[in-house]
Structures are given as C-alpha cells and as structure tokens.
Structure 1
Amino acid sequence: MNHHKISFSALFFSFILLGMGCNTTGGSANFLKEYDLTRPEAFNMPESLKEISGIAFNKGKNDVVYAVQDEEGKVFRLTWQNHRQKHTKFSGKGDYEDITLVKGQVVVLKSTGVLYTFSVSEAQFEETTKTKEWKNLLPKGEYEGMYGDEATGKIYVLCKACSIDNPGKKVSGFILNVGSTVQKTGSFTLNTDEVKALGVKVKRGFQPSALAKNPVSGDWYILSSLNKTLVVTDKNWKPKLAYPLSSNNFNQPEGIAFDNSGNLYISNEGDDTKDGNILKFKRLAK
C-alpha cells in the first residue's frame, strides 16, 4: 500500500513538472512547429551592410533582397548567396531603420518617423532624384519597424519608443495608405502586459525593432532586438506566442520578412567580430 502511495506521488509530481514546463515553453513549442530557429541558412552581408537594419521583398519574391542600413540613404539590392550588391542613393546620411515595397513604391522608414518613397523602377539606378519625403505623419518618437501589405496598399508602423505611450503598458502602431500620397488612416495597440504574460522580460518596455505578416497564417511576427525576442500575435495584435532568440544565432536582430512560400528571414547587424547577415528559416508546417 505504501509502495502505491509513493508511486502515485512520484507520478503526480512528474505531471506537475511537466505542466510547469508546458507553461514556460508551450508557446515556443507551438511556434517551432512552423520554424526551427536553431537551424538557419545564413547569408553573410558585404562590409557595406554590416549595419543592416530592414529587409524586404518585392511582392514576396525572394530572388532579390532589398535592404537598408542605419547610416546611409541608400537602398541595397542583393541576390541570395551573392555578395555583390547594387544600391540606389535616395537621400543623405541618416538613421534609416526599415524598408518595404508596396504598390510599385519603395518606402523607407527613418528612426524619427519620417518616410521616404520612390518608384521601384528607380531602384535600377545608382541614384534617384524622385524621392518624396513625408514628415509629420506620425507622433514624435523613435521608430524601427514597418510592414507593407501589397494587397491593400497599406503600411503598418510600430513605435519603438513614442511619447504618447506608457512603455510598461502599450506600444502604439499606425496604419498608412500608400498611393500618389501617403496618408495616415488608422491605428492599433500592442498590449505590453499581454507580452509579459508570455514570459518576456520587459525592463524598459517592449521595444519593437521590426514586424512582418506571415502570408500563410496571417499572424504578425514582431522582433525586439533589445529583448532578443520574437513575439507572434494574431491578426488583431493579440500576443499568443513568444520565442527567445539565442545570441549564438542572433547577434542583433533588426529586420524581418517573409517570402510568398512563408519562409522566414531575419537580418542581424554585425559588430567588430561578426559580419551582418540574413538568416533564412524554411517553413516546416504545410
């Protein structure tokens, strides 16, 4: 009788431990059904893109990667596994954080929230004089993440640190329409408490560095370089999964994009000992 009690107690305790493990890694385990973030295909950047920030594809086609880095007003173009790059100078020096291509327009986000647009057809030249600059569309703050939806012509911009936000409570986002002009048409909010509930340690607020929409699931994937975390939300911005990014693979994650097949790409800035790179993660689930 005593033997059965001991066995039952041990079994019960094991289930408790198992349950605790599920609570702390369940989100990550679900996430890993789609992508194995421990096994990337790495594409090292040339010296000109050591400080790579945002990345994008044109209409989801992964044959050409478009990128910006956070010092020069240039849009870079590379083909996968080809270190040779071409670029288009569109503006002067500045802190450029993200890029997207939507409705035939290249859109670049500056850290101050200023946007720059020019035609994709201009990207074949070393310099364009047809850049349009869009100021005062977004509240004062620091911005790093932007995503463009080709189907709707809308772009989504997330604050990294905005004066209108309480960093411990929410992160504001804004929706803009890109056409002959750029106009703000809406807003949304990411709840910081719901991000914390997924086990993300948020000391100075959740500060996004990039975002993209998964074309297969419709979920939003949001990077935070500061927190070394990838957060997945549903289409209504409700956080549902979080995955810690190991420094072994992710030196400084600053950009994110998907191709049409749902493969995931994350760019990392380099440093004194490492090149900048783009990591590709093939979609596992069909």
Structure 2
Amino acid sequence: MIRRFKSLFVAAALILLINSCSSEESEGKTPKEYNLNKPERFAMPESLLEISGIAFNKGIADTIYAIQDEEGKLFRLAWGNKKQFHGKFWKSGDYEDVSILRDKVIILKSNGSLFSFPFTDAIYDEIDSVKEYQKLLPEGEYEGMYGDEISGKLYLLCKNCTIDNNDNVTGYIYRADSDSLVFAGQFNIDVDPIKPFSGKVKKGLRPSAIAKNPVTREWFIVSAVHNLLVITDENWKVKVAYPLNGNTFNQPEGIAFDSAGNLYISNEGDDISAGNILKFQRLTP
C-alpha cells in the first residue's frame, strides 16, 4: 500500500511539473522591458478589421493614425475609443504602412509606391494635396516603413525582393526634404543570427513592419509570416528574436512606439476576431 501511494505521489508530481512547463512554454520568452504575454488590448471597429500600419505624430499617444490594406484612407482614433475619423487620400489599393515625418504623412503601398501629404490636411474627409512617388524603390514587395523625426530620414524594409536571398533583407533610406524624397543610402539585415531563435526563417525573413525604440534606439521588426519579433541594435545587427504567441498575435502587421517608449503592435482580424492594437507598457529594466 505504501509503495502504491508513493507511485501515485510521484505520478501526480510529474503531472504538475509537466503542466507547469507547458504553461511556461505557452507564455513564451519576452523582452525584459515589455511583457509580450500581458498586453492592453484595443479592439478595432469594423472599418479597421484589416488594419496594417500604425503611427503617432512625434510620439504623442493621444491619437493613433492607422491604415488598412484595402482602402486609400488614413484613420484617426483615440486609445480605447472605437469612434474613428478618416480622410480619403487615394483610390483603393494594398497599403501597408504609415509614418508621420517632419509634418508630412507618408504612406507605403505594397509595390513600393509612396504617397505624401501635409499632416495638417489629415483632418479633411477628402485629401487632395497628395503627391505620389513611383519607382523610387527596386521592384519587390514592401510592408515596413519608419520615419525618424530626429534625422528626418525614412527607412523602408523589403519583404520580398529579388535582390535578397534567404540570408539577407535589404532596406532603403530616403531623406525627407520639403517637397521631395532623396535617396540617402541602404542597409542590410543578416538573417543567419535569427535562425537560432526561430527555425521558421530558414527560407528568409519576411518583415511586416519596423519601428525604432525611442529609449534604446534599437530597431523592432515584426513578421506576420513568421509570427516573430526581431530586435537589432541601431546599426541593424541582430540581438535577439522572440516567437509571438498566435493566441495573442493574430496577424501582426504594424508596430509603433510612443514618446515614453511604450510598444504598440497592430493585428489584422479575421472571421472570428476583430482587428486590434496591443499596447505593451515599458517596464523598468
């Protein structure tokens, strides 16, 4: 009887241990500055079911600017308030990201075309001051863009370009002058250092969005294809990568920081769930 009791006790202990490990694995690893397992969740209105890029003006968090990948509209809404306003800037198309840089709104289309108009015109229902930039970028598919207010530079990251292979992702830099975008160089991200963190990138990284952390100056890159967050230093050297839990991150398509260093990631919705923006409060390291 005693031996049987000991066996039952050991079995119960093993079950508890397995359940504990499973719980830890399901939560996953997370940066020390942000708990990726405990977001504040903001469900989007139906108009932003397919939300893609998000941005703030100069890091001010009172208004979120967003686009979705079907209509040529710039949306404006406040955190937690589903009432949205929008301005029509172009015809329907596959729009992937938005940045506000030096009082200009810049929107990226998946084919690499860019659209720009004065930030002051974002309040209008119909925006007729739009300038289109075609063929600035090599042929390919683009989804990630970030406007650096300090340097005045616009960073664009290729998602799928013929110039790249499984081990490299190319990005392009433009300087935002008063009425033009001037080429200012390019950069590369080596995919090999990401592979130990996620085997999903064996056939290359497919970035969805990029943003620079205003506190650490690190680059944060999300990939919806791989459900992955990659962090590099200021010079694009990979530091770490975190697989994202699919129960939390349905389809991460946009990323932004406010001036306090809080992290925001937008997710497209589907037939079951609404689109959303997840906020991760910056923690004291």
Q: TM-score, normalised by structure 1?
A: 0.88
Counterpart Cα distance in 1 of 2:53 and 2:199: 23
The aligned counterpart of 2:138 is 139
Matches of 1:45 and 1:200, distance apart in 2: 32
Gaps of 5+ in 2: 1-24
Report the Cα distance in structure 1 between the residues aligned to 2:36 and 2:181, rounded to whole angstroms. Answer: 36
Gaps in structure 1 of 5+ consecutive residues: 1-24
Structure 2 residue identity aligned to 1:173: G
Q: Match of 2:16?
A: none
Q: Distance in 2 between matches of 1:198 and 1:183?
A: 36
After superposition, the C-alpha distances for 1:137-191 in whole angstroms (9 at most, x for unaligned) are 100000000000011110100000011111x110000001112101221000001
* Amino acid aligned to 1:91: W
Residue of structure 2 equivalent to 1:97: 96
Q: Deviations over 1:184-215 (max 9, x none)?
A: 21000001112213334214310000000000
2:156 matched to which residue of 1?
A: 157
CA–CA distance in structure 2, aligned partners of residues 128 and 44 of structure 1: 27
**Residue in 1 that maps onto 2:8:** none
Which residue in 2 is equivalent to 1:40? Answer: 39
Rounded Cα–Cα distance in structure 1 between residues aligned with 2:203 and 2:89: 34
Letter in 1 for 2:171: G
Which structure 2 residues correspond to residues 89-238 of structure 1 after superposition, within 5 A? 89-166=88-165, 168-179=166-177, 180-238=179-237
Alignment-mate amino acid for residue 34 of structure 2? Y
Matching residue's letter, 1:47: E
Give me the whole-angstrom Cα distance separating, in 2, the residues matched to 1:214 and 1:106.
20
Identity of aligned residues (%): 55
Deviation at 1:82, TM superposition (A): 0.6
**CA apart distance, 1:245:** 0.5
CA shift for structure 1 position 108 = 0.1
Q: Distance in 2 between matches of 1:98 and 1:149?
A: 14
- Post-superposition shift, 1:229? 0.4
Q: Within 5 Å, give how 1:12-31 maps onto structure 2.
A: 31=30
1:200–1:64 CA distance, 2 compared to 1 (3 A): farther
- Deviation readout 1:223-264 (Å, 9 max, x if unpaired): 010000000000010111111100111000000000000000
Matching residue's letter, 1:198: F
Q: Which amino acid aligns with 2:111?
A: T
Return the letter of the residue paired with 1:234. D
1:112-155 CA-to-partner distances (Å, cap 9, x unmatched) read 00000000000010011110000111000000000000111101
Query: Which structure 1 residue ranges, 4+ long, deviate > 6 Å from structure 2?
Result: none
Supply the RMSD in Å over aligned alpha carbons.
1.4
Query: Residue 198 of structure 1 aligns to a residue in which SS?
Result: coil
Q: Deviation per CA, 1:29-76, whole angstroms, max 9, x where unpaired?
A: 5x5210000000000000000000000000000000000000000000
Distance 1:262 1:244 in 2: 21
Q: Distance in 2 between matches of 1:154 and 1:202?
A: 28
Q: Which residue in the other structure is 2:20 paired with?
A: none
Partners of 2:270 and 2:109 in 1: CA distance: 21
Q: Secondary structure at the match of 1:171?
A: strand
In structure 1, what residue type is equivalent to 2:63? V
Instruction: Return the alpha-carbon distance in structure 2 between the equivalents of residues 170 and 186 of structure 1.
Output: 17
